[in-house]
Chains A and B, each alone.
Chain A
Amino acid sequence: MHTYIDKIREIASRLLKEEAVEMVIGYQEGTLPMISPPMSVRSAEDVEKLTWSSHCCINLANYLTDIKGKVAVFAKGCDCRSIVNHIAEGKVKREDVVIIGVPCNGMMERRTISNIFGDEIEEVVEEADGTVIVRGKGREEKYQKSDLLRQCCRVCVHKNPVLYDELVADPVAIPEDIQRYKEVEKIEAREIDKRWKFFENLISTCIRCYACRDACPTCYCPTCFVDEAQPQWVGKGDDEPDVMTFHILRAFHTAGRCTDCGACVSACPMGINMRAFTKKLEKDCLDLWDWEAGLTSDMRPALETFTPSDPEDNFK
């Protein structure tokens, strides 16, 4: 971790000093344990504020869409794919961003650790061997990092940046036995009524703050369909059909573009795993069109293209 941080600061400082970029986007230390919020650095003196941890859950590609001028951004595997997606969709110009790839060993959410530990946490220390020591008031526990990882990180096969100008460290190894779609298959195996119940239950605590949408790099529409007043596509209250409609439609809009970065889940104040919607679409894109988002900027996302050989099993 420390080698990462040193390297990150070194690169940021160099780019700013050389005036290669106007701004560097990275992560800073939070005021609470287990959170590393995004930050921007504009001068070389401030690079000491940049950090790296296993809690860099927010996807920094999200911060590129409205920025003018040349910027550098630190990007994990998934962030990097989201940037590629931005480039493919013409949202960001390749020449405007310096991508500093960060090979990723997976991120852990504050909520997961807190739920497992039970009490209030004062400090979390990560050892090089993958042990995580959690300290609370008068109590200390040891865990394996692999048991605390976010769901999306457990099934991630693109931990290494796919497009970058510079790397912070050597690529990390990808385990071979990852079952990418175990979660989806578990839902698929259920009967239809049980599936509906599952999704109903999943969103039952949603407060429609839209943090999931706001944290998502693919959700960059100037006016989201839920905010539209004329026509009003969906009611603004807390009725379940409206909440469900929001989730279904948002998921559809990310189809073939979602990189399963998990920022939406990490951002949700209610801890809702709305990846249950998007992961299915990711699987379908792979199964039906052999498409994975953000691996190349030369092709348009799956739902934007058509070839005569597309499968038509659903057509009668």
Chain B
Amino acid sequence: MLTHIGIEPERLQFSWISSAESTKFIDVVTEVVEAVRKVGPNTRLVKNMVREP
């Protein structure tokens, strides 16, 4: 649903990784990081605390 409402799919990814699969873990994390870098800093659902009245 997050994708449905417009959160970029790159930001939420799922994977099954067993504790024995260290190389898979590294690959997946690298992929995720690259994917998120590509979409850039998140602007959605980010709160601006210094919002003036």
Contact = CB atoms under 8 A, between A and B. Distances in A.
Given A314-B14, A315-B15, A315-B16, A248 B5 contact: yes
Contacts of B31: 316
Interface string A15-33: 0000000000000000000
- Which residue of B5, B7, B14 has the most chain A CB atoms within 10 A of its CB atom? B5
A137 to B, nearest CB: 42
B13 interface: yes
A235 B28 contact: no
A199 to B, nearest CB: 4
Nearest to B14: A315
A252 B6 contact: no
Interface stretch (A43-51, A110-118, A160-168, A237-245): A237-245
Contact of B15 (A187, A199, A255, A316): A316
Interface residues of A, number: 29
Given A277-B1, A314-B14, A315-B15, A199 B6 contact: yes
A244 B2 CA distance: 11
Contacts of B44: 196, 241
Main SS of chain B's interface residues?
A: loop
B14 A316 contact: yes
Nearest to B28: A316
Sort chain B's interface into a size bin. 20 to 34
Contact of B4 (A195, A239, A242, A245): A195
B38 interface: no
A277 B3 CA distance: 11
A224 interface: no
A241 B5 contact: no
A109 B14 CA distance: 41
B20 interface: no
B48 to A, nearest CB: 8
Given A241-B46, A242-B47, A251 B1 contact: yes
Contacts of A315: 14-16
B14 A284 contact: no
B30 to A, nearest CB: 12
B1 A198 contact: no
B45 interface: yes
A192 B15 contact: no
B1 A197 contact: no
B12 to A, nearest CB: 9
B50 to A, nearest CB: 12
Interface string B27-51: 0100100000000000011111001
A281 interface: yes
Given A241-B46, A242-B47, A252-B1, A192 B8 contact: yes
Closest 9 CB pairs of A and B: A196-B6, A195-B6, A199-B5, A316-B15, A241-B47, A241-B45, A315-B14, A280-B4, A314-B14
Interface of B: 1-9, 13-16, 28, 31, 44-48, 51
